[in-house]
Amino acid sequence: MFKKDKNDGSRFKARAAAKYTVFNVSEPDELMAFLMKKMAGISRTRVKTLLSKRVVLVDNNIQTRHDFPLLPGMKVQVSREKHNREFRNPMLKLLYEDAYLIVVEKKEGLLSVATERQKERTAQHILNEYVKREHRNNRIYVVHRLDRETSGIMMYAKDEMTQHKLRDNWHDIVTDRRYVAVVTGEMEKDQGTVESWLTDRKLYVSSSDYDDGGKYALTHYRTIKRANGYSLVELQLETGRKNQIRVHMQLLGHPVAGDGRYGCETDPLGRMALHAFKLCFRHPVTGELMEFETPYPASFKKLVLKRNA
């Protein structure tokens, strides 16, 4: 039986503190400028390296932005050893993280949120496990969703207050949200708009061209390329209804490739050809304009390459 040492707790705290160099913020500043002042002789390149290696924390949350705004009372920590919160997952790519939110790129085949049938193979579960490495009570909060078979950019909040602010002010905070899709057939117009009222029937979403009590949905589209019986289309959402793009493309007579639920009879890519490639929004706390964009999936572009005769 071990003897209780009265100093065990204090020694543990000392060891934990020794892992970090800690700086307290006394006046407003940007993270890079702050670190260069506090860490005498450090170069801008070295600060960027520390940020990219995810070893700089602000108020116990990893920060990678060199221009992150610091406020009096905040605490900045720089790890002295390899950080144990490196994020690696074949289904999720971490694009951005700060004290308030996380932005990721999700692969097709992964649920955004947990369901009664599936608790663990979800982006929500993966990110929950990630933030709990820092503290067991940490968790992430759902803000919006992507369908299981839709890939692309999405964000989660890291606290309930940020979640409510994002959800309650979504249309004011989000400035641009775009998708790219491969649809069947050659689009008749180079650009246009689709509007309807959508009703969730659980197994599918129905559409009406008049207000039948459903939710109003508005989608803008631009045709990028036509070839091989398909069209590459960029879509911009004015509203974010469930299955909105999929239903609106079906209304135009050009369902998304691989989308059997909404009228497509072909599956050339072995997945639904829909990808959320752009998300721009005002940060719910700092007010800064945040812009995230990924390239069109290579498989989408390859499908509409013109073949030699």
Taking CA atoms, 74 is separated from 42, 97, 226, in Å, by 21, 17, 53
Take residue 270 and report the two structure tokens written for it.
């072995």
Taking CA atoms, 187 is separated from 132, 253, 268, in Å, by 47, 9, 18
**147: closest CA among 53, 241, 19?**
241
Cα–Cα distance for residue pair 106/179, rounded to 1 Å: 13
Take residue 162 and report the two structure tokens written for it.
């940020």
Paired residues of 137 in beta bridges:
none
Is 147 labeled as catalytic in the residue annotation? yes
Cα–Cα distance for residue pair 30/41, rounded to 1 Å: 17
The distance in angstroms from the start CA to the end CA of the chain is 82
Q: Which listed residue (98, 147, 200, 209) is catalytic?
A: 147
Which sequence positions are flagged as catalytic? 147
